[in-house]
Amino acid sequence: MASSGEDRRAWVPLGSLPEFADVTPLPQDDGPSPVVAIAYRDEFRETMDYFRSLYSSRELSPRSLLITTLAISFNPANYTVWQFRRQVLEALDADLTDELDFTERVAKGNAKNYQLWHHRRWVAEKLGSDAAYRELEFTRKIFYLDAKNYHAWSHRQWVLQALGGWENELDYCVQLLEEDVLNNSAWNQRYFVVTKSPLLGGLKAVRDSEVDYAIEAINMNPQNESPWRYLRGLYNDENDAWLNDSRVPSACLRVLKAKRNFKFALSTLLDLLCLGFKPNQEIRDAITSLRTPDSGEVGSDSDLAKSICSILGHEDPMRANYWTWRSSKLPQAAEV
């Protein structure tokens, strides 16, 4: 009999094993005339027939645990099998650290399986804070293979909030961004840490240093949208703080002067103008120098905002209609 997906070719029929001698297989009922009968492999069909028999009798035994292991090796997305496995584990008072080993083996070939991650969370929750370090390390392994695995990021955030482990998380974000500054998942995690970690004192406590961090990343890669979005998020709904931080327009100006990769700098200035920002002459001149023939004359701040939309329509053709729409809304917004 196989114990995992790797050795299924050494399959021994369950009916020939003494531990299943008293189990009557329960075949799948496809009705009298299935339109398209699925050609299941013999091993899969036999496993599921035995699973259905044990499941229907609600037998919570070691052999039921074994049959779920086999069923999962054939189809890791079968949520009924996973649910039954949890019931068996609880009834047997099983060692759940072994279950973490099991799920890690399954994850090697099924790292985006919803049922697997739901089960892993259930196990970690049962183990409590003692499992925090192992879960964080588990997600690290997943990110090594797929840095943007949504399931792993969601699990990691849950672990931090439910089980702890915040101590080194900001450093971990730094590490990931040093490896790949374009990793938007790592930027998102950094924002999660600075807003949720009980060790940092909240967003306002770290905002000043985080603004510097974001602007440094912008200076190095102004075409990278992530630090621009991160920078805006640091002010959340505090528009006064956003408007009054001179570092933001200064960062935009540096990018505009380079006359390349300025799309996000312009869109940031547009957002500021719509909130009442009053640009100095140097910023106005930098924007004017980028104008296209149809940008129109620049007089008021409203004209300047419209000019930005025109420039962005050329620089960002994929969203040209969006910038046209933004321009149509500007007179009222920019005059506030």
Active site residues: 112
Of 106, 116, 123, 108, residue with least CA distance to 162: 123
Determine the Cα–Cα distance for residues 140 and 172; give it in Å rounded to an integer: 10
Residue 262 tokens, joined: 């300025």
Determine the Cα–Cα distance for residues 24 and 49; give it in Å rounded to an integer: 9
Which residues have CB under 8 Å from 182's CB, separation 6+? 221, 224, 226
Location of structure tokens 């969370």: 121
Residue 109 tokens, joined: 């070939």
Contact 54, 23 (CB under 8 A): yes
Instruction: Kindly list the distances between the CA atom of residue 110 and the CA atoms of 71, 77, 127, 147, in Å, as whole numbers in the listed order.
Output: 14, 9, 23, 15
